[in-house]
Amino acid sequence: MDIGTSGGADGLDFERLEPGGPVPLYTFGQGGTHALLAVRCQGFGDRAFVGLTITDPASGRAVTAPAGQSPRLLACQSDDICELLPLLVMTGGLVPPGEDREGLRVVVRAEASNWAGAAASVEREAVLRGAEL
């Protein structure tokens, strides 16, 4: 299992999030700032329960995109390696009102499981960065 960001010309390529690397932030027309992430799974088949948590280790504040009650459909690049992207995580509540998220050091944690009982998780330190649409 691995954590990444959406990349490529169409935003549908998995780009591994290197330790300490940037997590792009986007603010969309209806408001709210979101972190744009991706998850790569191996050995789960084409569906998995996938959840993400972003934590500010300095304050202990965290935001979550929970796995949900149904497995998510994964895009498979081979028989064994499948990806879920893009994944949006709402970042409201990660910092107090009026404080900037830009440059905030965080820990990103991804967890995945499937009906067959396979489970995995991965954590990576990262930095939140504003991005251009």
Closest CA to 51 of 61, 33, 37, 32: 37
Range of the domain at 52: 2-130
For 18-65, what is each residue's pLDDT tens digit?
A: 999 999 999 877 778 999 999 999 999 999 999 999 999 999 999 999
User: Who wins on pLDDT, 77 or 103?
Assistant: 103
For 92-110, what is each residue's pLDDT tens digit?
A: 999 988 888 999 999 999 9
Q: Looking at the predicted structure, is the pLDDT value of residue 78 above 90?
A: no
Domain with residue 110: its CATH number is 2.60.40
Structural domains of the chain, count: 1
pLDDT category at 132 given cuts 50, 70, 90 is low
Q: Average pLDDT in the 73-98 region?
A: 91
